Amino acid sequence: MRIVLIVALAVIGLTSQPGKTAIEQANDLEQRAQSAAKAGDQKTRISADLELLHLLNGSPAVVEALARAYAAAGEPHRALASLNRFADLGQTDEDLLAGRDRHFSMIEDLPEYKTVLARLSKNEAPISLSKVAFTLPDAGLLPEDIDYDAHSRSFLVTSVLGRKILRVQLNGSVARFALSPDNWPMAAIKIDAVRDRVWATEVAFDGFAAAPISAWGRSAILCFDLRSGRMLQRIEGPKHSSLGDMVLTPQGEPIVSDGENGILYRISNGRIIEINGTDFISPQTPVMLPAEEKAFVPDYTRGIAKLDLHTGDVFWLNQNDADKVAINGIDGLYMYHRSLIATQNGSSPERVILFELDPSLTRIVSSKVIERSASVDPTHGVVVGGSFYYIVNSGWAKLDEHGNVKPGSKLTPANVMKYKLP
């Protein structure tokens, strides 16, 4: 579940400030960086961006912000180097290509700048290695998450605007599995086939038109019977929480992320236990490591972390090798052997990508784009056997901040794609 952050990545920096959460650090330093930019203090601006670049694991947004800062400081060679690094990460910028971004006017006549633009344009080229598995017939669903029930050979799909869970057969036929008990948008879903349970979350996003005004800012974890769809348990989330994504431990306990407040929770015996509330800014869909009490957690802003579920300790992947691959903007993360599959709707262009890890599972050594386009709009997926099924054209990109369809836009049926894994 992607969250639109208040923090403007182009103008903030993060430093290690004991006792402060990552979100608090970002908010503090945003004001400092903004003031420096307004005052024309490029030295402070560049310093903040360099700190941010390290702590956000080479975030493409910060790489581009650093290029703008170097250009403003009259350092064309460093500005070009940062733009080339931005291109190395597979990114593009429509405003830059269309000439609407005037931050680089001082270098736009240089041959090296034109070469960078050509590279950014090449990064826009669509890639599609998947095929359509089925289409969800209702354009107004806004599907969010998906999981697979091997017993019935069908998928369960959550609907944000429909406020329900659907059971979808492989041929695309749809039936209702369960309704949101509170008429809130449905977000995460995970099936516990061993115990015949389904865990899901419902979220009354603050200011979201599809949620009752009286419930804004609330969320809950729900447990259903896998066969009947009957609700067995409802656990109210903490106040002002946004419990948008989830994974299950081998013991069947949900690990739930709050993408708005930067917190990871564990649900155990009906209790909500905080695992980590300091290191994350916007955690998304975790994935369990095989045979370990650890999970990979994608943070929409900071990259991919390996989280110890007992101690709450965090290790960030590619922290010292961050310029090799863009690992920010990930909504869903899934594991297949020694690879991670990511739905990266915070990338530009958006993409679905496969990362191969080293044997220690601490570094990404290579990547392969499965699907890439400006409008792929992926949300979540699920590994079924040797294939990866994932939702595209979800509809999020066509909604404004309040969940209303943008003027001139129209929701269209979402597809579930299938990619044969290597």
Extract the tokens encoding 2: 């992607």
Task: Give the domain range for residue 150.
Answer: 127-420
Instruction: Please indicate, yes or no, whether residues 167 and 237 belong to a single structural domain of this protein.
Output: yes
Q: Lowest-pLDDT range, 74-83, 205-214, 252-261, 323-332?
A: 323-332
Instruction: Please indicate, yes or no, whether residues 67 and 183 belong to a single structural domain of this protein.
Output: no
Instruction: Please indicate, yes or no, whether residues 44 and 141 belong to a single structural domain of this protein.
Output: no
Please count the other Cβ atoms lying within 10 Å of the Cβ belonging to residue 236.
Answer: 12
Instruction: Please indicate, yes or no, whether residues 178 and 302 belong to a single structural domain of this protein.
Output: yes
Extract the tokens encoding 17: 């400030």
Among residues 82, 101, 122, which one ends one of the domains? 122
The pLDDT, as a whole number, for residue 318 is: 77
Confidence of residue 320 (pLDDT cuts 50, 70, 90): low
CA gap 280, 302 in Å, rounded: 7
In a domain, 335, yes or no: yes
Examine the pLDDT at 34 and tell me if it is beyond 80: no
pTM metric for this prediction: 0.93
Among residues 58, 93, 122, which one ends one of the domains? 122
Examine the pLDDT at 15 and tell me if it is beyond 50: no
Mean pLDDT, the chain, whole residue set: 92
Instruction: Please indicate, yes or no, whether residues 195 and 294 belong to a single structural domain of this protein.
Output: yes
Residue where the block lists tokens 């609407």: 100
The pLDDT, as a whole number, for residue 11 is: 36
Instruction: Please indicate, yes or no, whether residues 337 and 291 belong to a single structural domain of this protein.
Output: yes
CATH number, domain containing residue 87: 1.25.40
Q: Mean per-residue pLDDT for 251-268?
A: 97
Confidence of residue 7 (pLDDT cuts 50, 70, 90): very low
Instruction: Please indicate, yes or no, whether residues 303 and 199 belong to a single structural domain of this protein.
Output: yes
Q: Mean per-residue pLDDT for 102-111?
A: 93
Instruction: Please indicate, yes or no, whether residues 137 and 37 belong to a single structural domain of this protein.
Output: no
Q: Lowest-pLDDT range, 34-48, 69-83, 305-319, 356-370?
A: 34-48
CA distances to 63, 147, 150, 218, 346 from 331, in Å: 20, 15, 24, 21, 8
Residue where the block lists tokens 């709707």: 345
For residue 196, give every residue at least 6 positions away whose Cβ sits within 8 Å of its Cβ, in sequence order, or none: 225, 226, 227
Among residues 88, 103, 122, which one ends one of the domains? 122
Q: What are the pLDDT digits (tens) for 378-392?
A: 999 999 999 999 999
Instruction: Please indicate, yes or no, whether residues 105 and 146 belong to a single structural domain of this protein.
Output: no
Extract the tokens encoding 79: 């500005």
Q: Mean per-residue pLDDT for 73-77?
A: 95
CA distances to 101, 113, 114, 289, 371 from 118, in Å: 16, 9, 6, 40, 21
In a domain, 1, yes or no: no
Cis previous bond, 349, omega within 30: yes
Extract the tokens encoding 18: 């004991």
Instruction: Please indicate, yes or no, whether residues 292 and 336 belong to a single structural domain of this protein.
Output: yes
In a domain, 345, yes or no: yes
The pLDDT, as a whole number, for residue 371 is: 98
Q: What are the pLDDT digits (tens) for 289-313?
A: 988 899 999 999 999 999 999 999 9
In a domain, 28, yes or no: yes
CATH number, domain containing residue 248: 2.120.10.30
Q: What are the pLDDT digits (tens) for 174-232?
A: 999 999 999 999 999 999 999 999 999 999 999 999 999 999 999 999 999 999 999 99
Total structural domains within the chain: 2
The pLDDT, as a whole number, for residue 24 is: 83
**β strands within 237-359, DSSP E:** 243-248, 254-258, 263-268, 271-276, 287-288, 294-299, 303-308, 314-316, 332-336, 339-344, 350-357
pLDDT higher at 199 or 19: 199
Q: Lowest-pLDDT range, 112-121, 210-219, 244-253, 317-326?
A: 317-326
Q: Mean per-residue pLDDT for 36-54?
A: 87
Extract the tokens encoding 235: 């656990």
Q: Residues 102-139, buried b or exposed e (16+ Cβ, 10 A)?
A: ebbeebeeeeebeebbebbeebbeebeebeebbebeee
The pLDDT, as a whole number, for residue 33 is: 72
Q: What percent of the chain has pLDDT over 70?
A: 95
Q: Are 277 and 263 in contact (CB under 8 A)?
A: yes
Confidence of residue 56 (pLDDT cuts 50, 70, 90): confident
